[in-house]
Amino acid sequence: MSSVSKTRRHVSILGAGAWGTAVAIALAERHAVLLWGRNPAAMAQMARTRSNAHYLPDFAFPPALQISSDLDAALAHVGPEDLLILANPVAGLRPLLEQLKGRALPNVVWLCKGFENGSSLLPHQVVREVLGPDVAGAALSGPSFAQEVARGMPCALTVASSSAALCERVVNIVHGGHIRVYSCPDLIGVEVGGAVKNVLAIATGVADGLGLGLNARAALITRGLAEITRLGLALGGQAATFMGLTGMGDLILTCTGDLSRNRRVGLGLAQGKNLDTIVAELGHVAEGVPCARAVRALAARLGVDMPITNAVAGVLFDGDNAREMVGRLLARDPRGELA
């Protein structure tokens, strides 16, 4: 791969939630960045106050960062050498893609992590289904909390695509400052790791909320990685990917970091709160909730053993008790660790 370019590029980021805003703040120090959101009133307020008070308060926008609710302007901002970054959650990916369908698009990169509810499709599959197989696309993923990225703290990400040229372009533009970017050809593995780790973070939050100790947390993370790997391999991912940033790295961060929304869902479940209350208190999307339903259905269809994921889905959707969930996991028959 060539050395990282210092050329100033244009980047449009579609989706002004916490993560899209954080990436916009980080990249606007080096590139001409436009942050787009669909709500004109919210975007006008952000342009006026130079901050995202709802999703990422207390972080001032760089002076050069452009704010817009005009999708045509956001697309006109980027050319063939630039990046179009989709920062919507998985649930909003298809509706956004439908707005982009039929337009001339530059290099498309998505940040969302999860499986589409209902279809159980990974993000790249949704992109290809809506935009067609010829659109160059890549996933940018890895262990990263929005607040830390916006604050300028170090992080490492992975860009994954079947196109080596697109990976190189993303690295050239995004890598720099406090952000390191590695490339990987295993798009399936990167997306599976980024999706399922959110479900395991809910399980770890439950265990921590019940006061089960650090031993239990380590066991859940380790066995959770085994579940992620089993599903990823069944879908065509590569085993080595799950030992990297988007597998083990993202899993450790999301299961242990206090900024993790999915971990906080688990903590709330351990306190006996219902899911609606927990989600309302978060004020943000917790991708592990819809992902748990999608992964349970997908694993059943593929015949992949995912006991922790099934237990989490039982608590979220079937009325199972959190403490009893842990008991059932502990009562499972012994087996070979690597089986």
How far apart CA 35 and CA 174 sit, in angstroms, is: 15
The candidate with the shortest Cα–Cα distance to 86, out of 38, 142, 147, is 38
> Which of 6, 101, 113, 197 is flagged as catalytic?
197
32 domain residue, yes or no: yes
Calpha distance 68→82 (Å, rounded)? 18
Residue 45 lies in a domain: yes
Closest to 270 measured CA to CA, from 328, 202, 210: 210
What is this structure's pTM?
A: 0.95
**Residue 6 bears catalytic tag:** no
Per the structure, the count of domains in the chain is 2
Which residues touch 320 (CB under 8 Å, ≥6 apart)? Answer: 311, 314
If asked whether residues 50 and 132 sit together in one domain, one would say yes
In this model, does residue 2 exceed pLDDT 50?
A: no
The 8-class DSSP code of residue 176 comes to B
Asked, for residue 225, whether it belongs to a domain, the answer is: yes
Look at the chain and count its residues: 339
For the segment 288-327, what is each residue's pLDDT rounded down to a tens digit? 999 999 999 999 999 999 999 999 999 999 999 999 888 8
Q: Which amino acid is at 148?
A: E
Specify whether 176 is located in the same domain as 195.
Answer: no
Instruction: Kindly state whether residues 155 and 29 are assigned to the same domain.
Output: yes
Average pLDDT of the chain to the nearest whole number: 94
Residue 113, CA distances (Å) to 3, 68, 219, 333 in order:
28, 24, 24, 32
* 317 part of a folded domain: yes
Residue 337 lies in a domain: no
Confidence of residue 10 (pLDDT cuts 50, 70, 90): very high
Hey, is 86 helix, strand or coil?
strand
Q: Which of 154, 185, 216 marks a domain boundary? A: 185
Please check whether residues 175 and 106 belong to one and the same domain.
Answer: yes
Residue 270 structural domain: 188-330
pLDDT at 333 (0 to 100): 85
